[in-house]
Amino acid sequence: MTTLYDLQATTNHGQTKSLSDYKGDVMLIVNTASKCGFTPQYEDLQKLYESYRDQGLQILGFPSNQFGEQEPGTDSDVQSFCQINYGVNFPLFAKSDVRGESANEVFRYLTESQPFRGFDTSEPSGKMLHAFLSEKLPEWLIDDSIKWNFTKFLIDREGNVVGRYESTVEPLAMKEDIEALLNAGK
C-alpha cells in the first residue's frame, strides 16, 4: 500500500523531492495561487511556519493554475511573488495540476485520504464559494477533488492525513490542531 512518504514532487527549482524527507515532521500541504481572493492566506501560513518550524512543522506549497487561471506565472515568478509580498520561505513546489486526471500524485493521494465534506456556509466566504461553484461548476461539488485554491491538508508525524481544510478556512484557525499534532507523543 502506498504511503505519502512513497511519493515525490518537483520543487520550484526543478529538483525531485521525496516526501519521505519530511518523515517525523507535521506537514501542512496547500495548493496555492498568486492572484486569488484567498492569496492573503500566504501571510498566515508564513506566520504558522515561523512559529512552529522549530517544533517540526513543514508547510509545503503547491501552486496551481487550475482555478480561474489565478497562477499564470512561471515557477520563478511564483517564488518571487511569495517572497516579496509575504516573506514566504517555506518550500514551494513546481506549478502542477491538483485536480482531475492530470493531478499530481501528492494531491491524488491527499484527496483519496480525506474526502470533501462541504463548505461552512454559515461563514460568508464559504457561502460565496459554494454558490459560485454551484452556479458555474456544479460538477466540481460532486466528488472529493480539490474545489479551489488554498485547500489545506494536515499530516501527522507518521504520515497520516488527519485533516482537510477547505479554501475558506483561515490558516490560523488550524493552530490548535497543529499544536496537538506537534505535542503528540511528548
CATH number of residue 165's parent domain: 3.40.30.10
Report pLDDT digits (tens) over 77-114.
999 999 999 999 999 999 999 999 999 999 999 999 99
Report pLDDT digits (tens) over 145-186.
999 999 999 999 999 999 999 999 999 999 999 999 999 866
Domain for residue 186, yes or no? no
Domain for residue 121, yes or no? yes
What would the mean pLDDT of 30-35 be, rounded to a whole number? 97
Report CA dihedral (42, 129, 64, 151) to the nearest 10 degrees: 60
Domain for residue 181, yes or no? no
Domain for residue 58, yes or no? yes
Whole-angstrom distance, CA of residue 152 vs CA of residue 168: 10
Which pLDDT score is estimated for 104? 96
Which pLDDT score is estimated for 147? 97
Domain for residue 184, yes or no? no
The catalytic site residues sit at: 36
Domain for residue 182, yes or no? no
Cα angle value 72/155/165 (rounded, 5°): 60
Q: In 3-state terms, what secondary structure has residue 27? A: strand
**What is the number of structural domains in the chain?**
1
For helices 41-52 and 75-86, the axis angle rounded to 10 degrees is 80
Q: Measuring CA to CA, how many Å separate 37 from each of 41, 125, 150?
A: 9, 10, 10
Is 157 in contact with 129 (CB distance < 8 Å)? no
Whole-angstrom distance, CA of residue 152 vs CA of residue 21: 20
**pLDDT averaged over every residue in the chain:** 96
- Domain with 150, as residue range(s), is 4-175
